[in-house]
């Protein structure tokens, strides 16, 4: 099965996915101003994607004999729309770094299913990062 190091990386990813699911959904509720409605919709859509990532990672950890965490990484909501999106962009950058490490570890262990799972999630995280980067450039 998987090494403790790989399971730990996966659980860090799971904690992060739980964190951003809550963070983005709360921001979706809290964002204000008429011009920010499209951002609220985007935050809700991304939060739901992050929840699906959490479920997939938890299922994989369980299959590999680990215990999926239920504790989120620290949640930072922000006060203004610009601060919210800036925090979200940073969270996605952290995820991209973590998921690249997880992919490398899965490759080293020849765990092709975990490798593919995190490649798929990494692609989504890069898309989320691009969305937040674009919002910061053009909308706020």
pLDDT digits (tens, 9 = 90+) for 26-85: 999 999 877 788 899 999 999 999 999 999 999 999 999 999 999 999 999 999 999 999
Nearest to 139 by CA among 50, 33, 45: 33
pLDDT (0 to 100) of residue 139:
44
pLDDT (0 to 100) of residue 37:
84
Does 140 have pLDDT greater than 60?
no
Q: Between helices 4-30 and 37-63, what is the axis angle to 10°?
A: 160
pLDDT (0 to 100) of residue 138:
60
All domains in the chain, ordered by first residue: 4-138 (1.20.1260.10)
pLDDT digits (tens, 9 = 90+) for 83-100: 999 999 999 999 999 999
């Amino acid at each position: 099965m998987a090494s403790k190091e790989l399971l730990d990386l996966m659980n860090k990813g799971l904690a992060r996915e739980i964190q951003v699911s809550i963070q983005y959904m709360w921001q979706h509720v809290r964002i204000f101003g008429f011009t920010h409605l499209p951002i609220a919709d985007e935050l809700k859509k991304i939060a739901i994607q992050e929840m699906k990532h959490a479920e997939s990672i938890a299922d994989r950890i369980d299959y590999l004999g680990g215990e999926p965490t239920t504790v989120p990484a620290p949640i930072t909501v922000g006060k203004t729309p610009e601060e919210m999106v800036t925090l979200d962009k940073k969270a996605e950058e952290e995820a991209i770094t973590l998921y690249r490490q997880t992919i490398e570890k899965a490759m080293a262990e020849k765990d092709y299913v975990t490798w593919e799972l995190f490649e798929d999630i990494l692609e989504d995280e890069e898309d989320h990062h691009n969305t937040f980067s674009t919002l910061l450039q053009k909308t706020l």
